[in-house]
């Protein structure tokens, strides 16, 4: 005698199997994102950016983001080859091989479970968004954004122009670290502010000084003038600068 299985049980079993298949598919996607691209993390005074290339090579740049000497940015650069072996991300360079035991958090982030400080460290993938206007300007041969070299007279003049007003706000003389973008008579600095004497900032401004710093300068009669500066934990400072100074070139700050 053939035993008949109720249709309801068959349906429930199918649903459960489908859910399991969907879950496994999701896990598989998270377990194997595209590693090619730029990945960044921040820890303590430092930030680390690793660019993995499709040819199996990588470039790693470590920067001081707080407490550096005035204008200091890159402190270490390493190159070599990389490969994945299960949950291990292996770097091979001049100093030998380095293994990171990693756990993918999403398609655009992973955690290094063997960080040297004993704490998990999250790397996030940068999504490059081409600026159409920049591309058009490049094609037309127009002036482009440049980055004044550390120690150059131009960069020093920019830093000196910011130092007075920002030091007054901070209650102590400051130094700057970060990225300087120069376009025609405009400059944007994105980075951080640190006390020159290495001591903590005054308590009343300490929290503000911990946030990301943005400054906009404009060259007037041959001299750089700070026309905006501020701190924020997101895009707040960028939006405020755009609203206050509509004439800032979009190549430096896009319209929101």
108 close to 127: Cβ distance less than 8 angstroms: yes
DSSP string over 188-227: EEEEEEEETTSSPPPHHHHHHHTSEEEEEEEEETTEEEEE
Residues 6+ apart with CB under 8 A from 91: 58, 60, 78, 80, 81, 82, 97, 98, 99, 100
Give the architecture (CATH level 2) of 37-125: Beta Barrel (2.40)
Q: Would you give per-residue pLDDT tens digits along the chain (256 residues)?
A: 544 545 544 455 555 554 444 433 333 334 456 889 888 777 666 778 899 999 999 998 887 766 656 555 556 788 999 999 888 999 998 878 888 888 886 677 787 877 655 455 778 777 544 444 444 444 444 458 888 887 788 989 999 999 999 999 999 999 888 888 899 999 999 888 989 888 999 999 999 998 989 999 999 999 999 999 999 877 789 899 999 999 999 989 888 6
Cα distances from 199 to residues 22, 67, 162, 192, in angstroms, run: 54, 10, 20, 15
DSSP string over 76-106: EEEEEEEEEETTEEEEEETTEEEEEEEEEEE
Ranges of each domain in the chain? 37-125, 132-244
What was the pLDDT predicted at 4? 52
* Partners of residue 235 on adjacent β-strands: none
Q: What is the spatial distance between Cα 114 and Cα 120, in angstroms, rounded to a whole number? A: 7
Residue 14, SS3? Answer: helix
* Partners of residue 39 on adjacent β-strands: 50, 125
Closest CA to 44 of 194, 181, 236, 196: 194
Residue 188, SS3? Answer: strand
Supply the DSSP symbol for 149.
Answer: P
Q: Which helix (H) or strand (E) holds 231?
A: strand 223-232
73 close to 60: Cβ distance less than 8 angstroms: no
What was the pLDDT predicted at 139? 42
């Amino acid at each position: 005698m053939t035993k008949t299985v109720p249709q309801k049980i068959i349906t429930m079993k199918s649903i459960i199997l489908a859910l399991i298949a969907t879950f496994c598919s999701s896990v598989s996607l998270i377990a194997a994102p595209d590693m090619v691209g730029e990945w960044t993390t921040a820890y303590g005074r430092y930030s680390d950016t690793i660019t993995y290339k499709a040819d199996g090579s990588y470039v790693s740049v470590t920067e001081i983001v707080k407490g550096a000497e005035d204008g200091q940015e890159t402190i270490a650069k390493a190159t070599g080859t990389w490969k994945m072996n299960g949950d291990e991300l292996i770097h091979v360079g001049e100093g030998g091989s380095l293994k990171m035991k990693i756990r993918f958090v999403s398609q655009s982030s992973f955690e290094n479970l063997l960080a040297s400080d004993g704490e998990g460290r999250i790397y996030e993938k940068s999504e490059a968004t081409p600026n159409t206007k920049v591309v058009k300007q490049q094609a037309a041969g127009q002036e482009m954004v440049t980055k004044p070299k550390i120690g150059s007279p131009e960069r020093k003049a920019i830093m000196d122009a910011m130092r007075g007003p920002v030091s007054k706000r901070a209650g102590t003389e400051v130094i700057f670290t970060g990225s300087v973008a120069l376009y025609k008579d405009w400059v944007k600095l994105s980075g951080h502010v640190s006390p020159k004497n290495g001591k903590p900032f005054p308590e009343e401004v300490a929290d503000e000084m911990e946030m990301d710093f943005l400054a906009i300068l404009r060259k007037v009669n041959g001299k750089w003038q700070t026309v905006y500066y501020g701190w924020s934990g997101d895009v707040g400072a960028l939006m405020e600068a755009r609203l206050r100074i509509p004439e800032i070139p979009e190549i430096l700050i896009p319209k929101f």
